[in-house]
């Protein structure tokens, strides 16, 4: 189920793993996620205006050749729980061990760190997989002079559109350098956040309908789960705006002025996404409020039925009780039409109560 | 219905469209709104102190002539789902593809971007149409040296007053340049936000009356819808204040110092509108609170009736039950005035309960 | 009633007037308030250390003579719906049309604008009139070199103390210039806000008592109205602090350094007033919470009475019902003391229930 | 009672006094508090490293001698409703009338103003008096070159520890100048705020216990009073942090660099106190929430008893009613064991209901 | 119990101790915690790249030798209620008395103060001890040129991992100086905050389950206690982020540029922890809301049972009552199948009510 997906990376694993890290030297490369342990695979795309070449090799020397060439290289490392390999590869690229630690630390919040000759970013890819579940996948990317080095947990990702644009020479991507590739990947990640918003929005709409039509306790529970989901998604998404904004203001020569124009577009989207999440948050609070109001209303309904039934029949039963008494001297019992008169009184009382309740608006 | 109007641009279309954009190169000009696909029409007004000339032509070359002339031109493009035409026109004006993307992206939040030789703004026109519905229409405008280029979704707009002032030479508009026209359009948009506030205020007043007089569950639902509407309107209006403020501080030569005085007036209004929206937000929360309090009160009423009826008649019925028993030896049954005594006791009890309930303030 | 007073300026008139302004050129002098249309009257006080002269004339030339003289002049224009006169007068003083628009726009939020040779301020006079109603009156004032020009809606105002000080040569006012007069008027406005606070505080105290003693639904309604009143008063008062603070930091030669010391005292009061309003806001929220809690409590009371009555008498009635059955063979009916035994059982049950309820704390 | 104590200074007196001040010239020295009118008494302590001399005299000339001497003087004026004396004394020390107005204005919020040759501060002494009441006493102090001039309302104060340290030559106080004395007094005031926190904390603990054990309506009322008390105490305490922080950053030569180290310690405490107050505020809100939850729970309890009693006995009574009918042909009545069978059915029903309610968890 | 643990340091002791400190000279070294009085013990580790030496001695002269040597020394003082010893030791290290006061003041909020030749920090060690209780232990540390001086309350601490790394020459710690040790200790403290988060998260999960499955009043109480615990933990943790951030920006030569890279990693964690605490806070509020909603729901359940039972049987009992009357002339009583007909009517009514309630969704 999707709920488990969201909870696990945050809590369940932390419980067993966070403790393991305590006391370890900083810079210890430890995967903290819960994806199955697999060997990393590396996919390289090297391209310039004229040509594209793709390559699947785990051999670090072969990979470094791509990094050294002048044309732009996208080195895509899939699987980050092979800690030794990641550490090895990272060291050969001259990357700091603290950076590598964060690259595989699935609990790391989104960040962008600038180093002298590379820029490092950590983000969450959020996407809806084929089973309609919301997947949160840790990813890190390093912008080097002519290379973007990507680390991701699973084979699935949100970059297929970027790959197609590179392969088919669609758009500007082939004519621009590694910084544009870095932007394009970030753009793809953030574009996918809109699908997460849609996912949440759809849940809100469904719950809204249920709240109005059949406010069972399960609905309250689902609203609370929704609120938690929004809280958690917000946690992964919220920092991005600030990070992109700082990236635009950077003085690093790794990001060209032209690319900053595109980053400003990404910033626009981040702001938009945060605002929408905020609105969803307030909507989910309103949902709960509406649920409570509908509960009160149902209680009112129940109470009205009880009150009407009891208020009508308890007095009538009393009257019947009176004439069920066994006193020797009860003259009414012997009247010829006594029984009829009693029925008359009862029907009168009944009508009186019905009119009273109708006037109260209870009927 | 108006509710649908507000929901659609935000959610329904996004659901089908947002996904389409993922993976596309940035700067792809894609209309994301839900207005029917039509051909764009262009209306040009060119004027200076002495003369006004209006023109309807879609021919881009003819339009560019207006842009090149020294007198002020207002080029008004109606219909922005003819993406190819918009892209063509924009390119001929030297506009960036990212700018054009935002001009037709109905999900774009309000923004002002300064370029070297033009200033670009995206806003929402909010107005009440003839069917008393709140319409939200996407619009973008570009301030060039002597020209303001406007993109809008529908023929209807909020600029009729500005057109009249140009045609009738009323006010300063004819003696000032394109930056004053840019201001006048922005001013017209923001003046119309006041009618939206009135619209919301009217809804609040109606709901307030209903909450006090007949708090049905439908009222709670309408309050929640109102809260959502305020949230969404706020989203389109809130950023404007910040944008105008930045426009006043700009160093771009496109905006003359005189015009900034007028922009400060617009800023005043934006602040006022945001404050009022905030007040409406708090009022709609109070409405819900009042609804809940009235619900509780009604429940109290119901419970009181039940309690009074039951507390009076259950003991009386018990007494009647006593003398309905069939024991051989029940002396009271044979007393001459036994029946009368029982009635006496019952009436005493009845009065006692009535006095008790009156003292409790329940009657 | 006072409630109407507060609502009108904000909503009712806006409804009919806000629309009228749309599309008009900025700087159109339009009165938006709801005071009856009257001719403006002008009262001038000219004074220096030695002498005071007062004058009632609407003749603009005569008024301008006061402005040109070296001694300090207070030109007090009462009645701002004579738009043509205001515009005329303003133009002769060299005032901008945007300024004049704000001077008569009763919806204008408080503001201070600095111009090259004058400083312009808009404020609300809030005071309790003879009918114990809270009056909100729009006012604007312009500080010129030797003159303060005041615009106000009604003859009534909060400046009588200042006039007395000028006439009786009490305090420093006669020895200082127009900037001190400007301060003194502002000080008088803000001092009156304290009476508004008292007015609100008194309402809170009255409602508090009602909530504890007799929490009828009307009380909830009054609490909500109080909350709206606080929201609205806050709207007129809140910006003042920021405005005064900017006035203290101004570099305009119109305000002398000595006077800034006094403005700092005004700032102190503004901060105090805002804090108090904030406390009243939280208190009115607590009032509503307390009302709800008292409602719940009353419901509890009602339910307890019902439960006690029903729990005692329903079982007893059942027992009476048993011995009211007509079976041929019911040995108890024929026991000599059967009837007594039944009473015994019933009294035992009654006592048992009473003890049980007392232990529960319900009695 | 303590509650009255807290309310009075804020509201009751304001009601009668605030109005008196309106229209008065700024700088009018008016005592606004509600302490009984008494003559001011002045206590002077003059000390240096070697000697201490104390003096009780109201003679202003004698007091000024202390101010002129090189050794440090603490001039402690007790009683600030003798307005003429205060004004006189202040003028002789060269103090501004606005300063003196604030020194005796018990509604003045905490402030620190720097003048050319003195620093002026207003604070509230908050302490628990012998009657276990929370007392809020207005105080002002002026730091001159070698003198600290203190104004306080009552003889009681929080400075006894400082006096002892001066008299017994304990700590650094004798070796340092007037600025250290100013610090020491401020430190004593703020140290006492911790006792106020304890006082509030104790109230919270008591109310918490009552909420869990016996949530009567009086408890809700006390919680609301606590919330108001926290709001008001916070008002006097909150600004202090900002004031001390500004004092540390001052460039006035009156405060030596060494003393700033000690002021930083005071700042630490102010931050701590504000944080604690914030926590108490949230705790008092939680208390109210818990009270409401316990009320709901009690209602649930009551409803369960009613439902169990009614659900068990109403059906049984119905059965008894059946066999109390007087039809000629009711075969069961004539069965030999009819009566027994009915008891059987009733006992079966009773057990069935008991089991059902137990399964529901209501028993 | 753990609850007591958390409450004590904050409230219980303050009550008796805070008062003791009032009036004392600043810089009085007073332990305010509630740990048992013991003699301080000092453990020294001196190390460089080549060798490690450990030492247990309380002799101050011997300790100072470690401070003077070039290799890095970690002087770990356990037990801070031996105030005289602490003061003595501190003075010999040249530490200010205000610093020493804070080092043993268990109420001191986290702080970092920079002095000319040392940096002083106060933090809370939070950890789960062997009894699964959350322990909050006060600690202070001073970074000198080649030495880190640590003060802690109890023998237990969170530094065992750091000691191991020093002893086993694991990681960089042996090759770097005292500033790296200072970082490593801070890192260990903050890493342990993650276990506190886990502890809280676990409590939330347990309560969540209880809220859904068996929402007894005790659960509400536990939720409120959780909220208080989060408030208090947050108080100790929240300031750390700001402190570390300032440490990174320091210009003190005591912290080398290399070490700042590691401090940035600590900053990352602090931000993460604060965000998580914020989420837990919102979750605990949602828990309470859910609890209230479940209470309402249970009440609804109870009311439905009552209403169904009463609405079915009260009318039936009324019918039985009718034919229990003793009128002389009641023809139905003498009909041959009268009794059967009555049963027929009753069964019909029963079925009617059942269908009605099913349609209402109450069955
Ligand atoms: Mg570590
Ligand atoms: Mg995170
Ligand atoms: Mg992947
Ligand atoms: Mg994008
Ligand atoms: Mg966040
Ligand atoms: Mg864009
Ligand atoms: Mg609520
Ligand atoms: Mg894209
Ligand atoms: Mg938006
Ligand atoms: Mg249009
Ligand atoms: Mg306008
Ligand atoms: Mg204006
Ligand atoms: Mg206009
Ligand atoms: Mg306005
Ligand atoms: Mg007036
Ligand atoms: Mg004043
Ligand atoms: Mg208002
Ligand atoms: Mg406001
Ligand atoms: Mg003052
Ligand atoms: Mg005054
Ligand atoms: Mg105050
Ligand atoms: Mg005193
Ligand atoms: Mg202190
Ligand atoms: Mg405050
Ligand atoms: Mg300290
Ligand atoms: Mg609440
Ligand atoms: Mg002290
Ligand atoms: Mg603290
Ligand atoms: Mg320890
Ligand atoms: Mg760490
Ligand atoms: Mg890290």
CB B113 within 8 A of CB B181: no
Domain that holds residue E46: 26-293
Q: Does one domain contain both D208 and D279?
A: yes
Closest-CA distance, D192 to chain C, in angstroms, reads: 23
Classify burial at D180, counting beta carbons within 10 Å of its beta carbon; exposed 0-12, middle 13-18, buried 19 or more.
buried
- What pairing do the DSSP bridges indicate for beta strands B134-143 and C41-47? unpaired
> Which of A148, A341, A151, A104 lies closest to A255, judged by CA?
A148
pLDDT digits (tens, 9 = 90+) for E42-68: 999 999 999 999 999 999 999 999 988
Distance A241 CA to ligand 5 centre (A): 11
Q: Residue C228: its chain B contacts at CB < 8 A?
A: 283, 286
Q: Does one domain contain both A259 and A347?
A: no
Strand arrangement of the beta sheet that strand A41-47 belongs to: A52-56, A41-47, A72-78, A147-152, A134-143, A119-128, A111-114
pLDDT value at B237 more than 90: yes
Q: Do B11 and A201 touch (CB under 8 A)?
A: yes
CA–CA separation, A198 and A286 (whole Å) = 18
- The share of chain B scoring above pLDDT 70, in percent, equals 94
pLDDT of res. D32: 80
What stretches of chain E adopt beta strand conformation (E)?
Answer: 41-47, 52-56, 72-78, 111-114, 119-128, 134-143, 147-152
Q: Which of E181, E183, E327, E349 to mutate to test the interface with A (most CBs of A within 10 A)?
A: E327
CA–CA separation, A330 and B337 (whole Å) = 9
Paired residues of A140 in beta bridges: A122, A151
> Which of A150, A106, A141 lies closest to A12, judged by CA?
A106
Paired residues of D103 in beta bridges: none
> Which of E188, E190, E103 lies closest to E153, judged by CA?
E103
pLDDT value at E37 more than 90: no
pLDDT value at C190 more than 90: yes
Question: What DSSP assignment string belongs to B316-356?
Answer: HHHHHHHTT---S--HHHHSTTHHHHHHHHHHHHHHHHHHH
Q: Does one domain contain both A194 and A306?
A: no
Structure tokens that stand for D185 in this block: 């007094």
Close Cβ partners of A265 (under 8 Å, ≥ 6 residues apart): A187, B26, B98, B101
CB E290 within 8 A of CB A289: no
CB D5 within 8 A of CB D134: yes
Q: Do A212 and B227 touch (CB under 8 A)?
A: no
**Residue A2 falls within a domain, yes or no?**
no
- The share of chain B scoring above pLDDT 90, in percent, equals 75
Q: Does one domain contain both E178 and E103?
A: yes
What's C175's DSSP letter?
A: G
Tell me which of A244, A267, A293 is where a domain ends. A293
Helix (H, G, I), strand (E, B) or coil at E170: coil
Distance D236 CA to ligand 21 centre (A): 6
Distance A10 CA to ligand 29 centre (A): 29
Distance B133 CA to ligand 9 centre (A): 21
pLDDT of res. A28: 85
CB D157 within 8 A of CB D43: no
Q: C3: pLDDT confidence band, cut at 50, 70 and 90? A: very low
A239 alpha carbon, distance to own chain's centre:
15
Helix (H, G, I), strand (E, B) or coil at D324: coil
Q: Do E271 and A224 touch (CB under 8 A)?
A: no
Q: Do B321 and C320 touch (CB under 8 A)?
A: yes
Average pLDDT over residues C299-316: 93
**Residue E16 falls within a domain, yes or no?**
no
CA separation, residue C139 to residues B277, C12, C31, C99, E104 (Å) = 24, 20, 12, 13, 60
What's E174's DSSP letter?
A: G
Number of other residues whose CB lies within 10 A of the CB of residue A120: 21
pLDDT digits (tens, 9 = 90+) for A91-101: 999 998 999 99
> Which of A166, A169, A139 lies closest to A153, judged by CA?
A139
**Residue D327 falls within a domain, yes or no?**
yes
Which residue of chain A has the CA closest to B10?
A: A276
Q: D333: pLDDT confidence band, cut at 50, 70 and 90? A: very high
Q: Does one domain contain both B262 and B319?
A: no
Q: What does the buried/exposed string (b/e) look like for C22-36 if buried means 16 or more CB atoms within 10 Å of the residue's CB?
A: bbbbbbbbebbbeee
Average pLDDT over chain E, rounded to an integer: 90
pLDDT value at C322 more than 80: yes
Q: Do E192 and A22 touch (CB under 8 A)?
A: yes
Q: E23: pLDDT confidence band, cut at 50, 70 and 90? A: low
State residue D233 phi and psi, 5-degree precision.
Answer: -60, -45
Q: Do A192 and B303 touch (CB under 8 A)?
A: no
- Domain of B319, CATH number, reads 1.20.58.340
Average pLDDT over chain D, rounded to an integer: 90
Q: Which residue has the higher pLDDT, C16 or B79?
A: B79
Strand arrangement of the beta sheet that strand C111-114 belongs to: C52-56, C41-47, C72-78, C147-152, C134-143, C119-128, C111-114
CA–CA separation, B278 and B272 (whole Å) = 10
Q: E10: pLDDT confidence band, cut at 50, 70 and 90? A: very low
CA–CA separation, C115 and A73 (whole Å) = 59
Average pLDDT over residues E177-193: 95
pLDDT of res. A13: 38
- Domain of D234, CATH number, reads 3.30.460.20
Helix (H, G, I), strand (E, B) or coil at C140: strand
**Residue E324 falls within a domain, yes or no?**
yes
Q: Does one domain contain both A174 and A312?
A: no
Closest-CA distance, C347 to chain D, in angstroms, reads: 17
Which residue of chain E has the CA closest to A96?
A: E261
CA–CA separation, E61 and E77 (whole Å) = 15
- What pairing do the DSSP bridges indicate for beta strands A134-143 and A119-128? antiparallel
Average pLDDT over chain B, rounded to an integer: 90
**Residue B255 falls within a domain, yes or no?**
yes
Closest-CA distance, C284 to chain D, in angstroms, reads: 11
pLDDT of res. A12: 40
Structure tokens that stand for A9 in this block: 């990376």
Q: Does one domain contain both B119 and B156?
A: yes
**Residue D10 falls within a domain, yes or no?**
no
Number of other residues whose CB lies within 10 A of the CB of residue A348: 10
pLDDT of res. C1: 37
Q: Does one domain contain both D53 and D154?
A: yes
Q: Does one domain contain both B39 and B112?
A: yes
Closest-CA distance, E193 to chain A, in angstroms, reads: 10
CB E209 within 8 A of CB A22: no
What is chain D's length? 363
Q: Residue C280: its chain D contacts at CB < 8 A?
A: none
pLDDT of res. E19: 66
pLDDT digits (tens, 9 = 90+) for B253-272: 999 999 999 999 999 999 99
CA–CA separation, A32 and A13 (whole Å) = 7
What's the Rg (C-alpha) of chain E?
Answer: 34
What's A283's DSSP letter?
A: H
Helix (H, G, I), strand (E, B) or coil at D84: helix
Looking at the CA of E24, name the nearest ligand: 27
**Residue C4 falls within a domain, yes or no?**
no
Domain count across chain E = 2
Tell me which of E263, E293, E323 is where a domain ends. E293
pLDDT of res. D19: 66
- What pairing do the DSSP bridges indicate for beta strands E72-78 and E119-128? unpaired
Q: B171: pLDDT confidence band, cut at 50, 70 and 90? A: confident
CA–CA separation, B311 and D84 (whole Å) = 70
Close Cβ partners of C316 (under 8 Å, ≥ 6 residues apart): B318, B321, C346, C349, C350
pLDDT digits (tens, 9 = 90+) for D165-186: 999 987 789 999 999 999 999 9
What's the Rg (C-alpha) of chain A?
Answer: 34
Tell me which of D270, D293, D316 is where a domain ends. D293
- Which helix (H) or strand (E) is C44 found in, with range? strand C41-47
Q: B33: pLDDT confidence band, cut at 50, 70 and 90? A: confident
Strand arrangement of the beta sheet that strand E147-152 belongs to: E52-56, E41-47, E72-78, E147-152, E134-143, E119-128, E111-114
Helix (H, G, I), strand (E, B) or coil at C16: helix
pLDDT of res. D23: 66
CA separation, residue A117 to residues A150, A253, B67, E263 (Å) = 16, 9, 46, 21
- The share of chain D scoring above pLDDT 90, in percent, equals 76
Q: D5: pLDDT confidence band, cut at 50, 70 and 90? A: very low
Close Cβ partners of A35 (under 8 Å, ≥ 6 residues apart): A81, A153, A154
Number of other residues whose CB lies within 10 A of the CB of residue D309: 19
- What pairing do the DSSP bridges indicate for beta strands A41-47 and A52-56? antiparallel
Q: Do E15 and D289 touch (CB under 8 A)?
A: no
- What pairing do the DSSP bridges indicate for beta strands D147-152 and D72-78? parallel
Say whether residue A18 is in contact with chain E using an 8 A CB cutoff: yes
pLDDT of res. E14: 41
Q: Return the minimum-mean-pLDDT range out of B70-84, D26-40, D231-245, E115-129.
A: D26-40
Q: C7: pLDDT confidence band, cut at 50, 70 and 90? A: very low
Q: Does one domain contain both B165 and B138?
A: yes
Q: Does one domain contain both B176 and B44?
A: yes
pLDDT digits (tens, 9 = 90+) for A175-205: 999 999 999 999 999 999 999 999 999 999 9
**Residue C14 falls within a domain, yes or no?**
no
Closest-CA distance, A302 to chain E, in angstroms, reads: 6
Chain B and chain C share a number of CB contacts under 8 A equal to 167
CA–CA separation, D39 and D22 (whole Å) = 26
CA–CA separation, D315 and C262 (whole Å) = 82
Phi-psi region of E361 (alpha: psi -120 to 50; beta: other; left: phi over 0): left
Q: Does one domain contain both C32 and C53?
A: yes
Q: Do D325 and E320 touch (CB under 8 A)?
A: yes
- The share of chain D scoring above pLDDT 70, in percent, equals 94
């Amino acid at each position: 189920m999707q709920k488990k997906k969201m909870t696990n990376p945050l809590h369940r694993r932390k419980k067993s793993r966070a403790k393991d890290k305590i006391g370890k030297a900083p810079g210890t490369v430890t995967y903290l996620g819960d994806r199955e342990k697999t060997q990393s695979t590396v996919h390289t795309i090297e391209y310039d205006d004229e040509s594209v070449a793709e390559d699947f090799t785990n051999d670090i020397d072969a990979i470094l050749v791509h990094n050294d060439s002048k044309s732009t290289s996208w080195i895509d490392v899939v699987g980050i729980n092979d800690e030794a390999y990641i550490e090895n590869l990272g060291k050969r690229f001259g990357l700091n061990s603290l950076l590598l630690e964060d690259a595989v630390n699935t609990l790391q919040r989104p960040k962008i760190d600038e180093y002298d000759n590379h820029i490092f970013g950590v983000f969450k890819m959020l996407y809806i997989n084929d089973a309609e579940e919301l997947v949160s996948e840790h990813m890190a990317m390093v912008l080097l002079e002519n290379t973007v080095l990507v680390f991701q947990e699973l084979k699935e990702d949100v970059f297929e559109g970027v790959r197609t644009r590179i392969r088919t020479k669609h758009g500007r991507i082939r004519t621009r350098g590694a910084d544009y590739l870095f932007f394009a990947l970030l753009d793809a990640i953030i574009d996918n956040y809109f699908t997460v918003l849609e996912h949440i929005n759809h849940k809100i709409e469904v719950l809204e309908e249920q709240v109005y039509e059949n406010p069972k306790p399960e609905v309250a529970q689902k609203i609370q789960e929704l609120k938690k989901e929004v809280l958690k998604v917000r946690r992964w998404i919220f920092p991005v705006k600030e990070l992109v904004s700082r990236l635009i203001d950077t003085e690093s020569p790794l990001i060209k002025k032209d690319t900053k124009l595109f980053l400003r577009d990404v910033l626009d989207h981040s702001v938009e996404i945060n605002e929408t999440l905020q609105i969803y948050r307030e909507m989910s609070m309103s949902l709960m409020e509406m649920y409570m109001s509908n509960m009160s209303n149902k209680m009112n309904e129940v109470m009205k039925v009880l009150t009407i039934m009891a208020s009508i029949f308890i007095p009538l039963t009393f009257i019947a009780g009176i004439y069920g008494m066994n006193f020797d001297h009860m003259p009414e019992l012997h009247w010829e039409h006594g029984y009829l008169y009693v029925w008359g009184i009862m029907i009168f009382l009944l009508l009186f109560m019905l009119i009273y309740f109708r006037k109260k608006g209870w009927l």
